[in-house]
Chain A
């Protein structure tokens, strides 16, 4: 029985003349939140694209447990970006019904009801299109969408970028909760505070390379995260 670790081995990604990722090797473990931080253009979003199977690496390989990560893994990956990824003309329920069908979920209605409760959207008017939702509501719906099919892997791409402080606190709470539930959580963020609040594994990416890869089960105090980040960015 293999472990369900996500292993990235010597992954490179080039877009024509630009090298977005060079020789990236990392290991992600269930029940732990990995925070990936780095300056803009470092390659974090590209890495997440590869981890979500949307982008094919130019070289290297990625394995989930024993198997290479392929399109079959999509059933078990959940993604929350800074855009909510829901259809603005449909209501929350209609959106979730669509995604439930896309993921071929049985007892979809129950699951949808549970998720809406969980993200506190159960009381919203049933037929209100999500176009009318606030940013915070959209983000909560996005999380519901991502968790609907009970994925093993949860990917977040700058989820707190458009949230207010309450929203960020809520997000951090959800991240903790998913970590406790044993999910493999990867969080790409600029928000070092949020990262320090939940991460047990810190990765710094700069110019397509990993300059820091440290796991600390006890977590990282905020000051330490900042210090590590700054050091990893310093020109050596």
Chain B
């Protein structure tokens, strides 16, 4: 039973990633837009040169740009299903809904992580932040923050699939829910970027917090995805 669940998850994630990978259009456009966001922030905040604010600003910008990236990734992976009503064919197959959710979650997360790699370097350059001081912790925080965002994003994007006000509503619905995740992730990141921080205790705390939040959000998403995405 669990074997087939993972088979379906990987099948669906693989399908989405293959589609995105084929044209690579999405990676380039997503990456470019996200980079532009970082540049805009860098420019807008360039006069606030209080050095103590440096790590906090850098972390904030990184996660704001990630949020933006995530919204685009969600749009690609979920909206794609609307074309030709492919989603109906997918739902009609024996694939368990939870596996469809997990597959989409995986695909969105991987797309986001790919772009985040570039963002980290960019933020390091533009904000002179010590982004590679703690690479292991950073990778972990990026992963957990991304998963938390994607876990809720997939649910809401799927629910909005047939809605007219899709773009306007997605932000309104998604952002309040993911702010705790973003908050935790940017606090942890700020601590990591700060050369003057005494220890990484706050990072450890926020990582635990993110882990708990992710587990809750993913379980909730697995549970709620089926009624939300099937026809009433």
Report 7 cross-chain contacts, Cβ distance below 8 Å, ordered by A residue.
A15-B232, A56-B232, A85-B85, A87-B19, A87-B84, A88-B84, A89-B80
- Is B15 an interface residue, CB under 8 A from the partner? yes
Q: In the complex, which residues of chain A have a beta carbon less than 8 angstroms from the beta carbon of B15?
A: 87, 90, 98
**Complex formed: what's the CA distance from A52 to B88 in Å?**
10
Within 8 A of B (CB), among A128-177: 130, 138, 145
Contact at B232–A86, with CB atoms within 8 Å?
A: no
Q: How many A-B contacts if CB must be within 8 Å? A: 74
* Chain B residue at minimal CB-CB distance from A13: B232
**Complex formed: what's the CA distance from A120 to B102 in Å?**
36
Q: How many residues of A contact B (CB 8 A)?
A: 32
Within 8 A of A (CB), among B171-212: none
Contact at A55–B8, with CB atoms within 8 Å?
A: no
Q: In the complex, which residues of chain A have a beta carbon less than 8 angstroms from the beta carbon of B232?
A: 15, 55-56
- Within the complex, the shortest CB–CB distance from A87 to chain B, in Å, comes to 5
**Complex formed: what's the CA distance from A55 to B80 in Å?**
22
Q: Interface majority SS on B: helix, strand, loop or mixed?
A: helix
* Chain A residue at minimal CB-CB distance from B96: A71
Contact at B95–A90, with CB atoms within 8 Å?
A: no
- Is B164 an interface residue, CB under 8 A from the partner? no
* Chain B residue at minimal CB-CB distance from A87: B86
Q: In the complex, which residues of chain A have a beta carbon less than 8 angstroms from the beta carbon of B231?
A: 49, 54-55
* Chain B residue at minimal CB-CB distance from A78: B92
- Within the complex, the shortest CB–CB distance from A18 to chain B, in Å, comes to 11
Per-residue contact bits, chain B 65-84, to A (CB 8 Å; 1 contact, 0 not): 00000000000000010011
- Is B91 an interface residue, CB under 8 A from the partner? yes
Q: In the complex, which residues of chain A have a beta carbon less than 8 angstroms from the beta carbon of B23?
A: 89
Q: In the complex, which residues of chain B have a beta carbon less than 8 angstroms from the beta carbon of A77?
A: 92
Q: In the complex, which residues of chain B have a beta carbon less than 8 angstroms from the beta carbon of A74?
A: 92-94
Take A54-B231, A98-B11, A98-B15 as given contacts and tell me if A84 and B92 are in contact as well, using a CB distance cutoff of 8 Å. no
- Within the complex, the shortest CB–CB distance from A121 to chain B, in Å, comes to 16
Q: In the complex, which residues of chain B have a beta carbon less than 8 angstroms from the beta carbon of A101?
A: 11
Contact at B22–A89, with CB atoms within 8 Å?
A: yes
**Complex formed: what's the CA distance from A39 to B89 in Å?**
25
B15, B85, B92 pick with most chain A CB within 10 angstroms:
B92
Contact at B8–A102, with CB atoms within 8 Å?
A: yes
Q: In the complex, which residues of chain A have a beta carbon less than 8 angstroms from the beta carbon of B8?
A: 102
Contact at B11–A79, with CB atoms within 8 Å?
A: no
Take A74-B93, A102-B95 as given contacts and tell me if A81 and B11 are in contact as well, using a CB distance cutoff of 8 Å. no
Q: In the complex, which residues of chain A have a beta carbon less than 8 angstroms from the beta carbon of B53?
A: none
* Chain B residue at minimal CB-CB distance from A129: B22
